[in-house]
Every structure is written in C-alpha cells, then in structure tokens.
Amino acid sequence: MSAKRSIIFLDIDGTLISEDGRRYLPDSAREAIARARKAGHLVFINTGRVIINVDAFIREVGFDGFVCGCGTYITFHDEVLLKHELPKELCVRIAENNHRCNVFSLYEAWDLNSADGRIKADSYAAELIEYFKQNGRPFLYDVTDPIFHFDKFTAWYNEDSDTRGFKKGIAEDFDFIDRGSGFCEIIPRGFSKATGIEFLLKELGIPWEQSYAFGDSNNDLAMLSYVKNSVVMAAAGDNLKDMASFVTKDVYDDGLYYAFLKLGLI
C-alpha cells in the first residue's frame, strides 16, 4: 500500500458505473473507495455531469468531494470551492444559435437542466431527460424563460443540423469535445476535468506525483493526460489505452477494485 497520501479522481459513466442503462455500481467499487479513504487517500468524483445530476446512490458511496461540469464546479468536504457561472447574455446567444442550427442541446447548470422544446430530442437525450424528471431534478423546456441559464451543455446533431454553423457559433467561448455518433460535449473555454485537478492539487497541497485519474472516454482525455497516474477501463478506445499508465478491467469485472489493488492504493 502506498505510504504517501494520494488524490484519486473517478469518472462516473463507464468507469464507476456501467453505461448500459442499468447504471450498475459494483459493491467492489464501494469497498475500494472506502478502503482507499481509510488509508488516508482523497477520492473525488470528476465528471462532466453538473452536481444536481450526480445521483444519490453515487453520492452515498462517500467521497471527499466533487469536480463537476468539467471543472466548472468544485467541492471539498461539502464546501463549494469554485463555481463558474456564465453570463446570461451568453447563455441566450448560444441557445439562439443552437436553435437556428437545429442542434438539440441539454443545457446543464449546477441547479437546473434546460432544453429547447422547439427542437426534437435525440432518443438518448429524451431518455435521459425522462430519467431526470422521474428523479425530481429541476427541468426547464423554455430557453426564453428569464430563469434560463447554464454552465456547460451537451448536444446532438444529425443530417438536418447546420453543424458548421453550430460549431462556428460556439467557437469563441467554448471548447468542443466530440463524443462520437453526432454527440458532443461543450465546455466553457479555460475549463476541463484537468483544470479541476490542477485547482485541487494547489488548494490541498498535494504533489502532482500522487495524482490518479480513472476514465474511459474522450471527455476524460484532459484529466488522463494531466495526472501522473492515468488509468483507463478495458472498453476505452485505443487512443486512451495508448497513453494510459495502467489499463484495468471493466465495471462488471470489478475494474476499480482491481486497479486500486494493483496500484497499491488499498
């Protein structure tokens, strides 16, 4: 077991829980996290999800904090250390651009989810929105409502979308992360899962050499590239595996526990 205090960052979908709709969280992952924390290590969620979209069954595992919205919202022991909110006029301009380009977007803020009801949702987006509603999360279908705002967003485009116009309209203020199959994640310029890690290393005084990140997809690339010890799941793409320090097993094969054990974190 590592004698030094390490800081561990975990992606959620495809890393901590399964990405097949079951949202399976293995007991072995709970045990690994609890044992690592008992050994003195810090364990954080680092996710593209905004904080209100982190399910209760995930929070109940027990973490030292959360890096949410790709570095736009950071907590440590229930204290909010960073909260980046976009200007209202920028939110309105982006929503108008996306409507004009026929790109369905899920606008995510630390306290609210929104979508433009005038644009037909992708089937996966529709399922996700229904899941949010069933779990009592605030949802707004009118982007012209005065309360509309967001911190980052995800979007789905197809053959009927003006993809070029969409990308041009967001280019000045946001970074585009291609998630494949017409799905993308849009992050405010200057923020990422990596900036969240950088912030916490400085805030908590933990050496970079003791940083670990676990992920499985392209929106994890920034944090996996930043940390000293990068761990990817077996189902990750070759681009992630090629740059990883360690490739572990998948969620259903107790991948987190296996990696924690092999890397001496428990």
- What are the structural domain ranges in the chain? 7-83+191-262, 88-188
What are the pLDDT tens digits along the chain (266 aa)? 455 899 999 999 999 999 988 999 999 999 999 999 999 999 999 999 999 999 999 999 999 999 999 999 999 999 999 999 999 999 999 999 999 999 999 999 999 999 999 999 988 899 989 998 898 999 999 999 999 999 999 999 999 999 999 999 999 999 999 988 899 999 999 999 999 999 999 999 999 999 999 999 998 999 999 999 999 999 999 999 999 999 999 999 999 999 999 999 99
- CA 224 to chain CA centroid, nearest Å: 13
Q: What is the pLDDT of residue 192?
A: 97
Question: Residue 95 has what pLDDT?
Answer: 98
Give the other-Cβ count within 10 Å of 93's Cβ.
Answer: 14
pLDDT at 3: 56
Helix or strand holding residue 230 (H, E) = strand 229-232
Task: Give the pLDDT confidence score for residue 1 in this predicted structure.
Answer: 47
Fold of 88-188: 3.30.1240
CATH class of 7-83+191-262: alpha beta
Angle between helix 163-170 and helix 88-100 axes, rounded to 10 deg: 170
Per-residue confidence (pLDDT) for residue 20, from 0 to 100: 87
Cβ burial 145-157 (10 Å sphere, 16+ → b, else e)? eeebbbbbbbbbb
Burial string for 204-233 (b: 16+ CB within 10 Å, else e) reads: eebeeebbbbbbbbbbbbbbbebbebbbbb
